[in-house]
Amino acid sequence: MHEMEHKLDPQKFARIHRSTIVNLDSIRELHQLFHSDLRAILHDGTELTVSRRYRPKLEAQLRGSL
């Protein structure tokens, strides 16, 4: 995953969990969960967990987008 993450454009993709990379344009909204985790809701209704470890970077990448 680490290698794939570095090949993708960080303006368009973000790692949100140890096994998940998401296209930022696909994220419709974020919901707060327990223990600082988030739930990313995609435009197609898919729900993905954003872990605490990746949350700060995701929020910085999305700042002003949602």
**pLDDT tens digits, 46-55:** 999 999 999 9
Domains of the chain: total: 1
How confident is the model over 19-35, as pLDDT tens digits? 999 999 999 999 998 87
Identify the domain containing residue 13 by its residue range.
2-62
Predicted local distance difference test score (pLDDT) of residue 64: 65
Distance CA 14, CA 10 (A): 6
| φ and ψ at residue 11, rounded to 5 degrees | -80, -15
